[in-house]
Amino acid sequence: MGRPSKPLISREAATRAALQVIDDEGLDGFSLGAVAKRMNVKAPSLYYHFADKAEILSEVARFILLDTGYSEDNGSSWEERTIELCVETRRALLKHPNAAPLILQFFPRHLLLDAYEHAVEGYPQTRELHMAILEGIEKLTFGSALFEAAARARGLPAMPDFDTANYPNLTQSIRASRYDDEGNFIEALRMFFAGVRARTNAA
């Protein structure tokens, strides 16, 4: 199918409409036809900006990842800056739990190169460990976000109901916890950083 001779819509408007469709209908309900209907245009209009369905989904993933409230260079330590960035990234994904799995399929790593460069500049001066530090931070952040997004998308709690008599230790640990899901994520990052400090000091 040929593309229209001139654009009838903008790429950003189409991306936003696609995200709205996914938010409302889930990934199973997504189609270019549904996006076009949401925008009151004909589906071929989308082909001016997107070659196919995969390209618009990739753009949705990029849009979500860039929608953070992170303010760079806030003067705090590299650990606190990293926690702020990770929390804001996690929140950005959780705004759209139905669309969050797109980050796995269309992870826009090229968009993060500047962030990676800035991040490793502030890491402890143990260069050979930098990529392992980056790996741990990234996987903690996206793993936490995607697990919670999957639960939210299905309307389920992060931890299922269970018989407390059968799981007494887990029950006590949950009752003793001082944190909500985001707080647990932040505490996990702080424990990871404590390990990084111990490892870099040893190195």
In a domain, 190, yes or no: yes
Which one is predicted more confidently, 126 or 110?
A: 126
The pLDDT value recorded for residue 1 is 44
Structure tokens at 186: 């932040």
Handedness of CA 93, 137, 178, 68 (dihedral sign): negative
Structure tokens at 56: 């618009």
Asked whether residue 94 falls in the same domain as residue 184, the answer is yes
Spell out the residues 6+ positions from residue 78 whose beta carbon is closer than 8 angstroms to its own.
119, 122, 123
pLDDT digits (tens, 9 = 90+) for 88-120: 999 999 999 999 999 999 987 887 888 888 888
Q: Considering the chain, what is the average pLDDT of its residues? A: 90
Asked whether residue 88 falls in the same domain as residue 169, the answer is yes
In a domain, 5, yes or no: no
- For the CA atoms of 130, 84, 111, 23, the dihedral, rounded to the nearest 10 degrees, stands at 140
In a domain, 6, yes or no: no
Asked whether residue 37 falls in the same domain as residue 123, the answer is no
Q: What is the CATH number of the domain that holds 38?
A: 1.10.10.60
pLDDT digits (tens, 9 = 90+) for 7-60: 557 899 999 999 999 999 999 999 999 999 999 999 888 888 888 999 999 999
Number of domains in the chain: 2
Q: What is the CATH number of the domain that holds 185?
A: 1.10.357.10
Residue 61's pLDDT band (cuts 50, 70, 90):
very high
Residue 151's pLDDT band (cuts 50, 70, 90):
very high
* Domain interval for residue 60: 11-65
CA–CA gap between residue 12 and residue 179 (Å, rounded): 37
Q: CA nearest 77: which of 131, 141, 123?
A: 123
